[in-house]
Copies of this chain bind each other. A is one copy, B any other.
């Protein structure tokens, strides 16, 4: 798409020795790719002045840009900053505006500044400061003979904030002289291939400056539409919105959200909006559906609780599943999950209950009900819906996929009846 040579350099001994996994570079790689720029390489090096200077000197010969993370901040010594100054051949000078910002942040938090925060304000001469809305260590931008160096802290949420608030708009997009419009639709209940197939009629009509990416996850797919053009215009925005609305028409209720969210957050918002209380009755998922619901701050406003009915005794004694039904149809059956929903509604004080029973594996299957057979049900006092999944042999994956399917079934039920 273009020939800009950009690499990502992450600094930190803890990455090299495998103490932490470098997720920053994966995130930056994805963000660059979204703009149509592919990173040429990702290089992780130690907190070592010679190595940092050598790496920068070598990359600056062949690259247009290096995005660097790590080695900044009050708890690190100033190796990265010193190395950059050495590479640029400039002295470290005190940056008053950086210090004032730190003082301001600490006054608001009512905390005392330490000496190390002052040290942090000695930065290479001529640096352009990139505002850090999430912490005290600023990002930095340097330009030297057509080579651009961006240095960001290694703390992921600080790095992401600086990248999104400053680097993308101010540096990367102007560099490639492009305007990007992008939207990500989150889909549950449909596989990647199925989504590709149903979208094909629209995709075949997309202009050449549009691209579609399918990013599959466990039990969900992110569909990202990107339009890259030379300049911003209202026409382009309108055209983009038009294509998104065509996608939305086709994918309908399979879309559970846009951008960065997840099913449990979306469910939470729906429950709050409709003033609904929900409860869970789980067998094979063993508490994972409840744990996902409870992970959302404020979940106690709509999640009443759940039963992990791992044994038939608990299904029978606590949830009230008829013993005859368990005996006749078995614990993994449509009849049982329907009874689990009815029992759950009765005892959990919930408006809607979801139930899951299945054979997570790796053993415990039969010819009639192989490992991976999962029954789901969701219902309120008037309606009940069920769904059967035929999954694979991997326990962990079966638990995660059933959990995701249960949350999605809850979502579709609320959409339909409220």
A residues lining the B interface (CB < 8 Å): 13, 15-23, 25-33, 38-46, 51, 215, 280, 282, 284-291, 293-295, 297-300, 303-311, 313-314, 317-318, 347-349, 360-364, 395-396, 399
9 contacts between A and B (CB under 8 A): A16-B39, A21-B21, A42-B44, A286-B294, A294-B308, A303-B310, A305-B308, A305-B311, A307-B308
Does the CB pair A45–B38 fall under 8 Å? Answer: no
Q: How many copies does the complex hold?
A: 2
Bound-state Cα–Cα, A361 to B297, Å: 7
Bound-state Cα–Cα, A347 to B307, Å: 11
- Nearest CB to that of A10 among chain B residues? B42
Q: Given contact pairs A22-B42, A314-B349, enumerate 19 new A-B contacts (beta carbons under 8 Å).
A: A15-B26, A17-B32, A18-B25, A18-B26, A18-B27, A18-B31, A21-B23, A21-B26, A280-B287, A286-B287, A286-B290, A286-B295, A286-B303, A290-B290, A294-B310, A295-B395, A300-B311, A304-B310, A318-B348
Does the CB pair B44–A25 fall under 8 Å? Answer: yes
Bound-state Cα–Cα, A305 to B297, Å: 25
Does the CB pair A294–B39 fall under 8 Å? Answer: no
Q: Which of A19, A20, A27, A306 has the most CB of B within 10 A?
A: A306
Residues of chain B contacted by A19 (CB below 8 angstroms): 30, 215
Which residue of the partner chain, among B17, B45, B287, B362, contacts A306 with CB atoms under 8 Å? B287
Residues of chain B contacted by A38 (CB below 8 angstroms): 13, 16-17, 46
Bound-state Cα–Cα, A303 to B349, Å: 25
- Nearest CB to that of A361 among chain B residues? B297
Does the CB pair B286–A308 fall under 8 Å? Answer: no
Shortest Cβ gap from A205 to chain B (Å): 26
Known interface pairs A23-B21, A30-B17, A44-B42; A308-B306 also in contact (CB < 8 Å) = yes
Does the CB pair A33–B17 fall under 8 Å? Answer: yes
Bound-state Cα–Cα, A165 to B374, Å: 37
Shortest Cβ gap from A323 to chain B (Å): 14
Residues of chain B contacted by A39 (CB below 8 angstroms): 16-17
- Nearest CB to that of A403 among chain B residues? B291
Does the CB pair A313–B16 fall under 8 Å? Answer: no
Residues of chain B contacted by A308 (CB below 8 angstroms): 280, 287, 290, 294, 305-308
Known interface pairs A287-B306, A313-B304, A314-B349; A28-B17 also in contact (CB < 8 Å) = no
Shortest Cβ gap from A33 to chain B (Å): 4
Does the CB pair B30–A26 fall under 8 Å? Answer: no
Does the CB pair B295–A396 fall under 8 Å? Answer: yes
Does the CB pair B300–A305 fall under 8 Å? Answer: no
Shortest Cβ gap from A211 to chain B (Å): 13
Q: Which of A16, A20, A33, A288 has the most CB of B within 10 A?
A: A16
Which residue of the partner chain, among B18, B46, B282, B307, contacts A40 with CB atoms under 8 Å? B46
In the A-B complex, list the 6 residue pairs whose CB atoms are closest, starting with the nearest. A286-B294, A287-B290, A18-B30, A287-B287, A18-B29, A305-B310
Residues of chain B contacted by A348 (CB below 8 angstroms): 314, 318
Q: Which of A15, A18, A40 has the most CB of B within 10 A?
A: A18
Does the CB pair B305–A307 fall under 8 Å? Answer: yes
Does the CB pair A313–B363 fall under 8 Å? Answer: no
- Nearest CB to that of A33 among chain B residues? B17
Shortest Cβ gap from A18 to chain B (Å): 3
Residues of chain B contacted by A295 (CB below 8 angstroms): 286, 395-396, 399
Q: Which of A348, A395, A399 has the most CB of B within 10 A?
A: A348
